[in-house]
Chain A
Amino acid sequence: MKFSYGSQRKEYGHALVDLGKTRKEVVVLDADLSGSTRTADFAKEFPEHFFNCGIAEQNMMGTAAGLAVSGKVVFASTFAVFATGRCWDQVRQSIAYPKLNVKIVATHAGINVGGDGASHQTGEDIALMRTLPGMTVVVPADAPETYKATMAISSRPGPCYMRLGRLDFPTVTAPESAFEIGKATELRDGSDITLIGCGIMVSRCLEAAETLEKRNVSAQVIDMSTIKPLDEDAIAAAVKKTGGIVTAEEHNVLSGLGSAVAGYLVEHDPVPLRRVGMMDTFGESGEGEELMRKYGLTAEKVVEAAEEVMRRR
């Protein structure tokens, strides 16, 4: 499949600048990674509304809370591993529990981080954030969706977590398509199996669907861009339509998208399911695409999983 590619981070920076032009209450914080997260784009345009907190993520989250409680819409950015793991208690105590309007937008999620290795990669961030009561968790599939999602979370009251990648992602959503928090998007219709992906794995699902088509399997592809609140209606409709599901995420299969979907299925519509993702492992150094292959985050794995589900059905 031929995709064009775009940077989620660039679109995040772009969206922040656009927000800054019209929304005076928007404040952006970073922890010494503003060049990488692209909050520097906002800082350049609106220096008064940008605060670099230095390499002190816990304090950044607390400061974000204080700004939010004073009426600001606060975006706080750093790498996903730090934004969720290093300061989880601050996010829990000072942001989620008091239900504050802080948007944690973390870049360099998953394993496509590449050469920095396991210390800077994370397959745990969705799990850490989705277990927090009241936390919205958004994982855009590509660059255009990142822009739309940034705009959407800026208008949604309460705490949000949004996860972005380092690599340029294949563009899978249409420019004109609407984005709504909590609503999945069907990217391809199909009747035999449903492939539900988030983030970069949505493109892998689309590739897998093409391969499956050649094998006379009609696969539906769903972009589950919001992990929480989960679009249960979309899952229910998929179950009715195809009766078998594969999830795909660049995250530990424990407690991520796959677990969220599995939780719904076992309670409501127990149909066969396979989860593709990181198999309870840390990553390592390497090129992003190499790592994706080594750790099974490929279209081939999605195809294998789909065929297995079809056999079990």
Chain B
Amino acid sequence: MPGLSTVERVLNAHLVIRTFPFRGVPLVAYPDKVISDLEKEANLIRRHIIKMVRAAGSGHPGGSLSSADMLAALYFKVMNHRPTDPLWEDRDRFVLSKGHAAPAYYAALAESGYFPKEELLTLRKLGSRLQGHPSRNKLPGVEMSTGSLGQGLSVSNGMALAGKLDRKTYRVYCLCGDGEMESGQIWEAAMLGAHYKLDNVTAFVDRNKLQIDGPTEKIMSIEPLPEKWKAFGWHVIEIDGHDMRQILDACDKAKEVKGRPTMVIAHTIKGKGVSFMENALSFHGKAPNDEETKKALQELGEES
């Protein structure tokens, strides 16, 4: 882009949607049906997000929509868990470090059967178990209370250490936001994860490239992100965070890695799936109005 300054090029970088074609052969060749079913689940999660945030009148649709595909893959395919026995000791653990994506998380939990789907519309209401940010003592399936950014990866490491101490084979999954990478505690956790060789941790960063005040690279540059995680001793996989096959393959490959944890840098689009929310800063933390809700649900294929 001639004529643009370096700063402008960086600012525009978030608008370029990068694709990450498969490198190498996937470990498991999933049938098309598996993929299309998961895509349907992700779509269902997205519709729930819109309805929940609308009903609440506030919340974070943008970062919830960008996380939906990863949550669908984890809850409906990747993780070993029992919604009827949330504290089953051999379950895989999940920590939503980006706690503001609670709507997506709650939708995945409800669709899994942890609590009645009708309850989704109580999000953020007085007396609801669905707090604005997840609270482990309120809602079954929520492993850890989160919301104050930068803390979930440390907690995941603690769960992973406990798993190793107890000779358990469960894995710990953690979903971080990209803005969270600006937080010092993340890098403290990065060191600990590598130091104690926590190969039972698979973390994701939802790299949607936007934070509340603007593009991450404008507010506080976090790049080069893959190189940083590699330098901290993590196995790094970069994927298109909206490509179900790539998500599943990354999870499979992470299980094969021994002696270090895995960070999956998932390139995503904030607001993914709703045209006017995509890459729109305004929908980081704002509910859609009636008209926008209708349009969003139409785009997501909801039959009215």
Taking a contact as CB atoms under 8 Å apart, the answer to whether A67 and B154 are in contact is no
Q: Contacting B144 at CB < 8 Å: which of A51, A63, A69?
A: A69
Give the residue among B137, B144, B152, B155 with the most A Cβ atoms within 10 A.
B155
Chain B 149-170, CB within 8 Å of chain A: the 1/0 string? 0011111111111110110000
Interface bits A57-68 vs B (CB < 8 Å: 1, else 0): 011011111111
Chain B 116-161 interface residues, beta-carbon cutoff 8 Å to A: 135-137, 143-148, 151-161
Asked whether A49 is an interface residue with its Cβ less than 8 Å from the other chain, the reply is yes
Residues of A at the B interface (CB closer than 8 Å) are 27, 48-49, 51, 53-54, 56, 58-59, 61-72, 89-90, 92-94, 97-99
17 A-B contacts (beta carbon < 8 Å): A58-B151, A62-B151, A63-B192, A65-B155, A65-B158, A66-B95, A66-B154, A68-B158, A69-B143, A70-B163, A70-B166, A72-B165, A94-B144, A94-B151, A94-B154, A97-B135, A98-B145
Given contacts A59-B185, A98-B137, 19 further A-B contacts (CB under 8 A): A27-B165, A56-B188, A59-B154, A59-B191, A62-B157, A63-B192, A66-B155, A66-B160, A69-B136, A69-B143, A71-B166, A72-B165, A90-B154, A93-B148, A94-B148, A94-B155, A97-B145, A98-B135, A98-B144
- Contact among A54, A58, A62, A93 for B191, CB-based, below 8 A: A54
How far apart are the CA atoms of A155 and B188 in the complex, in Å? 30
Find B196's partner among A51, A69, A98 (CB 8 Å cutoff): A51
In contact, A63 and B135 (Cβ under 8 angstroms): no
Provided the pairs A56-B192, A90-B185, A97-B145 are in contact, do residues A62 and B154 lie with their beta carbons within 8 angstroms? yes
**Residues on the A chain within 8 Å of B151, using CB:** 58, 62, 90, 93-94
Q: Is there contact, CB below 8 Å, between A94 and B145?
A: yes
| Residue picked from B143, B146, B188, most chain A C-beta under 10 Å | B188
Give B11-38 interface residues, CB cut-off 8 Å to A: none
Whole-angstrom distance between the alpha carbons of A72 and B192 in the complex? 18
By a CB distance below 8 angstroms, the chain A residues around B165 are: 27, 48-49, 72
A-B interface, 7 closest residue pairs, ranked by CB to CB distance from nearest: A66-B158, A62-B154, A70-B162, A59-B188, A56-B188, A66-B155, A63-B158
Complex alpha-carbon distance, A97 and B157, angstroms: 19
State the Cβ distance, A51 to closest chain B Cβ, in Å: 6
Q: Known interface pairs A72-B162, A90-B185. Does A56 touch B157 (Cβ–Cβ under 8 Å)? A: no
Which residues from chain A contact B189 at a C-beta distance below 8 Å?
Answer: 59, 62-63
A19 to chain B, nearest CB (A): 15
Distance between Cα atoms of A65 and B162 in the complex (Å): 11
- Which residue of chain A is the closest to B89 with respect to CB atoms? A71
State how many angstroms separate the Cβ of B36 from the closest Cβ of chain A.
35
Partner of B155, one of A48, A53, A56, A63: A63
CB distance from A116 to the nearest CB of B (A): 23
Which of chain B's residues has its CB closest to A27's CB?
Answer: B165
- Find chain B residues with CB under 8 A from A66 CB: 95, 144, 154-162
* Shortest Cβ distance from residue B239 to the other chain A in the assembled complex, whole angstroms: 25
Contact status B188-A58, CB under 8 Å: yes
Which of chain A's residues have a CB closer than 8 A to the CB of B113? none
Number of residues from B at the complex interface, CB < 8 A:
34
User: Is the C-beta of B301 less than 8 angstroms from some C-beta in chain A?
Assistant: no
Tell me the B residues contacting A by CB distance below 8 Å: 93, 95, 135-137, 143-148, 151-163, 165-166, 184-185, 188-189, 191-192, 195-196
Q: Which residues of A contact B184 (CB under 8 A)?
A: 58
Say which residue of B93, B143, B161 sits within 8 Å of A63 (CB atoms). Answer: B161
Instruction: Provide the bound-state CA to CA distance between A64 and B135, in Å.
Output: 17
Residue of chain A at shortest CB distance from B168? A70
Most chain B beta-carbon neighbours within 10 Å: one of A62, A64, A94, A97:
A62
Residues of chain B lying within 8 A (CB to CB) of residue A71: 162, 166
Query: Measured between C-beta atoms, what is the minimum distance from A71 to chain B in Å?
Result: 7
Complex interface: chain B residues within 8 A of A58 (CB): 151, 154, 184-185, 188
Distance between Cα atoms of A114 and B135 in the complex (Å)? 41
CA distance A59 to B157 in the complex (A): 9
Q: With A63-B155, A66-B158, A67-B161 as known contacts, state yes or no: A93 contacts B145, CB within 8 Å.
A: yes
What B residues does A27 contact at CB under 8 A?
A: 161-162, 165
Residue on A with the closest CB to B195? A54
Point out the residues of chain A lying under 8 angstroms from B161, CB to CB. 27, 51, 63, 66-67
Complex Cα distance A70/B168, Å?
11
* C-alpha spacing A63/B151, complex, angstroms: 9
Give the complex CA separation of A56 and B194 in angstroms: 14
With A58-B184, A58-B188, A70-B162 given, is the CB distance from A63 to B157 under 8 Å? yes
A98 vs B148: C-alpha distance in the bound complex, in angstroms? 13
Cβ of B137 and Cβ of A65 under 8 Å apart?
no
Which residues of B have CB within 8 Å of A54?
188, 191-192, 195
Q: Which residues of A contact B185 (CB under 8 A)?
A: 56, 58-59, 62, 90
Give CA–CA (A99, B159) in the complex, Å: 16
- Determine the chain A residues whose CB is within 8 A of the CB of B159 once the complex forms: 66-67, 69-70
Q: Which of B145, B147, B163 neighbours the largest number of chain A CB atoms within 10 Å of its CB? A: B145
Asked if A70 and B158 make an inter-chain contact with CB atoms under 8 angstroms apart, the answer reads: yes
Chain A contacts of B195 at CB under 8 A? 54
CA distance A62 to B159 in the complex (A): 10
Residue of A27, A49, A58 with most partner-chain B CB within 10 A:
A58
Residues of A within 8 Å of B157, CB to CB, are 59, 62-63, 66
Given contacts A66-B156, A70-B162, contact A56 B191 (CB under 8 A): yes
B155: chain A residues within 8 A (beta carbon): 62-63, 65-66, 69, 94
CB nearest to B186 among chain A residues: A59
User: B93 contacts which chain A residues (CB < 8 A)?
Assistant: 70
